[in-house]
C-alpha cells in the first residue's frame, strides 16, 4: 500500500450538545448536558472529599452539574462525581451560566458551517443526534417532528456537497428526565427507550446515513457516570450495571440496523489511551494488562466479540458486583456485534504497579501518571503521535476489523488577529505528526483505517471544562467562555493546511 486508500474518509467531528445550542427550541427537552456549567466560573465552590490538595488546581477548571436537594441547590464536579454519594435532582439554577444552551448556535447556522466543511473538502462529517430533540423526555410515544426535520435538513445539506455523515446516537447527552426518574442507564428500562429512539432515527435516515456509532466513548463511564449515562450517584454496582445496559442497548440497535437495512455500517466508539508499562519490571507490565483490560478492552471485547470476557467476570466477582443478567442477554450481545471500531485518540497512558511518589498529569476527564518522554498541552494532555500508531496496531491485531479514528486533536488557546486571521502552527504540527503515524500504520503495518475526523473541526464547547477557549477547530468561532461575541466564523491557518491535506489524500502535509 502506497498511501491512504482512495476512499479514506477525511473529515471532522462534533457532537450535538457541544455545538447546536437552541437547547429549548422547537420542542427539544432538557438533556443531561443542559445542567452543566462552565468550569472555573461558576458561583459554586465545590470541595472533593479526600482530594489531595496538590491536585486541587487541576480540578478548579472542571465543570459542575447543578442540582436541587430537598429545596436546596448544590453543585457537584462533573468528572469526579463518581466520588459522591447519591445527590439530589439535577436541575437548571437561576443565574448560573450553562454554555451548551447556546453553544455555537449550529442549530441556526448549520448551512454556513457545512458550507465551510465542504470548502475544506470533507468527505465525511461526524456528528450526533440529540435524543431530546426526537423524544424530549425519552418517554413520549410519538417523536417530535420538528426535531426530525432539523436532522433531515442537516443531512440534506451534507449530501449537497457529497459529505458522508457519520452519526453517533448518544454522545454525552440523554433526556434529563430519565436521569431524574430512573438514574439514567442504571435502570434497565432505559434500554427500551433508547431502542425506540434509535429505531426512529435509523428508519427515518437510513437512506441518508450509512455510518452509525452507538455510544460515544462508552468506556468513559469510568470517569463520569453522569456525563455518559445520566447516573447521579457513585455506587460501583450501579455504574457497572449502567455500563452493561449501554452495551446491551448498543447490541440491540446494531442488530436492528443490520436486520432492517443490511448496507448500514454500525460501529462502537471507545476512548483509546493504551498504557505503556512504566518500566520493564514484571509488575508494571502486568499492571498495564490489568488496567488496559478493565478500562478499555472490556468494552471493545464485549461489542466486537459479542460476549463478556473472562477477566471482567473475575473482576465482578472480586469486587462483589452482582450484575442483573437476564436470560436473553447472551444472545443479544452475540447477535449485535459491530462492523467497525471507532476510537477517540488523544494520548497514551502509563501503568505503574506501585504508584507512590509518581507524578500525575491531569487531563480533564482522566488523570494519568506523567510520562517524562512526552510533551503536554496547556490542559495537561500528553502529546504522543507514535502512540496513535501503537494504538492502531493493538486494535487491529486484537479484532481485525476496520478502524475509524473519529476524534483526535489539540485543545489550545487561539488569538483572533485584527485582520480576522488566526495563526495556529501548533495545531498544524500536532495534526501533521499524527497523520504521519496513521499513514505508517496503514502502509508499513497493514492496519485497515477507514477515516480520520479530527475533533471539534469548528470551535465548540469543551465537554470536560465547558470552555470554548479550549479550541480545537479549523474554524474559529467568535465567542468567549461566557458566550459574549459575534459568533462569526473565521478560517484559521490550519483550515488552509487541512484543505491541502485532504485534496492530496494525505500526501501533502505542508512540510
Active site residue 327: no
Q: What sign does the CA torsion over 79, 80, 83, 87 have?
A: negative
- Which candidate, 324, 304, 301, places its Cα nearest to that of 312? 301
455 binds ligand BGP (CB under 6 A): yes
CA atoms within 13 A on the CB side of 54: 5
Residues composing the chain: 511
Residue selected from 462, 471, 489, 501 as contacting ligand BGP according to rule CB under 6 A: 462
| Those residues with Cβ within 8 angstroms of residue 228's Cβ, 6 or more apart along the chain or in another chain | 172, 215, 216, 217, 218, 220, 221
Nearer to ligand BGP, 133 or 258 (CB): 133
Q: What is the DSSP letter of 163?
A: P
C-beta neighbour count of 301 within 10 angstroms: 19
Pull the grid cell for residue 292.
488496559
Catalytic: which of 20, 164, 177, 217? 217
Residue selected from 470, 471, 489, 492 as contacting ligand BGP according to rule CB under 6 A: 470
**Interface pattern 331-370 for ligand BGP (x via CB under 6 A):** -------------x-------------------xx-----
What whole-number distance in Å separates Cα of residue 309 and Cα of residue 80?
27
What whole-number distance in Å separates Cα of residue 451 and Cα of residue 9?
4
- Cβ–Cβ under 8 Å, residues 380 and 307: no
CB of 312: closest distance to ligand BGP in angstroms? Answer: 22
20 binds ligand BGP (CB under 6 A): no
CB of 85: closest distance to ligand BGP in angstroms? Answer: 25
Nearer to ligand BGP, 278 or 340 (CB): 340
Nearer to ligand BGP, 179 or 344 (CB): 344
| Torsion of the alpha carbons at 457, 32, 245 and 49, rounded to the nearest 10 | 100
What whole-number distance in Å separates Cα of residue 510 and Cα of residue 506?
10
**Interface pattern 231-270 for ligand BGP (x via CB under 6 A):** ----------------------------------------
Catalytic: which of 20, 164, 287, 407? 407
Q: Which SS3 state, helix, strand or coil, does residue 158 take?
A: helix
> Cell numbers 456509532 correspond to what residue?
213
Nearer to ligand BGP, 75 or 363 (CB): 363
Q: What is the DSSP letter of 143?
A: -
49-57, 95-103, 294-302, 459-467 -> range binding ligand BGP (CB under 6 A): 459-467
Residues 37-66 that bind ligand BGP (CB under 6 A): none
Pull the grid cell for residue 221.
463511564
Number of residues engaging ligand BGP in binding (CB under 6 A): 17
CB of 219: closest distance to ligand BGP in angstroms? Answer: 10
Residues 305-334 that bind ligand BGP (CB under 6 A): none
**Interface pattern 406-425 for ligand BGP (x via CB under 6 A):** -x---x--------------
C-beta neighbour count of 455 within 10 angstroms: 24
CB of 221: closest distance to ligand BGP in angstroms? Answer: 12
Opening angle at CA 175, ends 62 and 68, nearest 5: 60
Active site residue 236: no
188-196, 350-358, 394-402, 461-469 -> range binding ligand BGP (CB under 6 A): 461-469
CB of 9: closest distance to ligand BGP in angstroms? Answer: 18
464 binds ligand BGP (CB under 6 A): yes
Opening angle at CA 100, ends 98 and 104, nearest 5: 125
Residue selected from 125, 172, 194, 497 as contacting ligand BGP according to rule CB under 6 A: 172
Rg (CA), the chain: 21
CB of 58: closest distance to ligand BGP in angstroms? Answer: 13
CB of 188: closest distance to ligand BGP in angstroms? Answer: 25
223 binds ligand BGP (CB under 6 A): no
- Strands annotated E in 141-264: 164-170, 211-215
Q: Enumerate binding residues for ligand BGP (CB under 6 A).
A: 15, 18, 172, 216-217, 271, 344, 364-365, 407, 411, 455, 462-465, 470
Which residues are tagged catalytic? 217, 407
Amino acid at each position: 500500500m502506497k498511501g491512504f486508500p482512495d476512499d479514506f474518509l477525511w473529515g471532522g467531528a462534533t457532537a450535538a450538545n457541544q455545538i447546536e445550542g437552541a437547547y429549548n427550541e422547537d420542542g427539544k427537552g432538557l438533556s443531561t448536558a443542559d445542567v452543566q456549567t462552565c468550569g472555573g466560573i461558576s458561583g459554586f465552590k465545590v470541595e472533593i472529599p479526600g482530594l489531595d490538595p496538590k491536585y486541587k488546581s487541576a480540578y478548579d477548571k472542571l465543570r459542575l452539574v447543578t442540582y436541587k436537594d430537598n429545596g436546596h441547590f448544590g453543585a457537584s464536579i462533573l468528572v469526579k462525581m463518581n466520588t459522591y454519594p447519591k445527590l439530589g435532582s439535577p436541575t437548571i439554577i437561576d443565574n448560573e451560566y450553562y454554555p451548551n444552551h447556546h453553544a455555537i448556535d449550529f442549530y441556526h447556522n448549520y448551512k454556513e458551517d457545512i458550507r465551510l466543511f465542504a470548502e475544506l473538502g470533507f468527505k465525511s462529517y461526524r456528528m450526533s443526534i440529540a435524543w431530546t430533540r426526537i423524544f424530549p423526555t425519552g418517554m413520549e410515544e410519538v417523536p417530535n417532528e420538528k426535531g426530525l426535520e432539523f436532522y433531515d435538513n442537516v443531512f440534506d445539506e451534507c449530501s449537497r456537497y457529497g459529505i458522508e455523515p457519520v452519526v453517533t446516537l448518544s454522545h454525552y447527552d440523554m433526556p434529563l428526565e430519565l436521569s431524574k426518574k430512573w438514574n439514567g442507564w442504571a435502570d434497565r428500562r432505559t434500554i427500551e427507550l433508547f431502542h425506540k429512539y434509535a429505531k426512529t432515527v435509523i428508519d427515518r435516515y437510513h437512506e441518508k446515513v450509512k455510518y452509525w456509532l452507538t455510544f460515544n466513548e462508552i468506556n468513559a463511564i469510568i470517569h463520569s457516570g453522569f456525563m455518559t449515562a445520566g447516573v447521579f450517584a457513585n455506587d460501583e454496582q450501579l455504574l457497572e450495571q449502567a455500563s452493561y445496559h449501554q452495551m446491551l442497548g448498543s447490541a440491540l440497535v446494531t442488530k436492528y440496523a443490520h436486520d432492517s437495512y443490511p448496507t448500514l455500517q454500525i460501529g462502537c466508539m471507545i476512548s483509546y489511551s493504551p498504557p505503556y508499562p512504566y518500566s520493564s519490571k514484571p509488575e508494571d507490565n502486568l499492571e498495564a494488562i490489568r488496567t488496559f483490560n478493565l478500562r478499555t478492552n472490556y468494552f471493545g471485547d464485549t461489542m466486537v466479540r459479542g460476549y463478556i470476557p473472562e477477566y471482567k467476570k473475575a473482576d465482578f466477582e472480586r469486587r462483589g458486583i452482582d450484575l442483573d443478567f437476564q436470560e436473553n442477554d447472551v444472545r443479544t450481545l452475540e447477535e449485535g456485534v459491530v462492523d467497525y471500531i471507532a476510537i477517540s485518540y488523544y494520548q497514551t497512558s502509563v501503568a505503574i504497579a506501585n504508584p507512590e511518589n509518581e507524578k500525575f498529569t491531569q487531563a480533564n476527564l482522566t488523570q494519568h501518571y506523567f510520562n517524562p518522554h512526552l510533551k503536554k498541552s496547556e490542559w495537561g494532555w500528553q502529546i504522543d503521535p507514535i502512540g496513535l500508531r501503537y494504538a492502531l496496531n493493538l486494535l487491529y491485531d486484537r479484532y481485525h476489523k476496520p478502524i475509524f479514528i473519529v476524534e483526535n486533536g489539540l485543545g489550545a488557546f487561539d488569538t483572533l488577529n485584527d485582520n480576522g486571521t488566526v495563526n495556529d502552527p501548533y495545531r498544524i504540527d500536532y495534526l501533521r505528526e499524527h497523520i504521519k503515524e496513521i499513514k505508517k500504520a496503514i502502509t508499513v503495518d497493514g492496519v485497515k483505517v477507514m477515516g480520520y475526523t479530527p475533533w471539534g473541526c469548528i470551535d465548540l464547547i469543551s465537554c470536560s471544562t465547558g470552555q470554548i477557549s479550549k479550541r480545537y477547530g479549523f474554524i474559529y468561532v467568535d465567542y468567549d467562555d461566557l458566550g459574549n461575541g459575534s459568533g462569526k466564523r473565521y478560517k484559521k491557518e490550519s483550515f488552509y493546511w487541512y484543505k491541502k491535506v485532504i485534496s492530496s489524500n494525505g500526501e501533502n502535509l505542508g512540510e
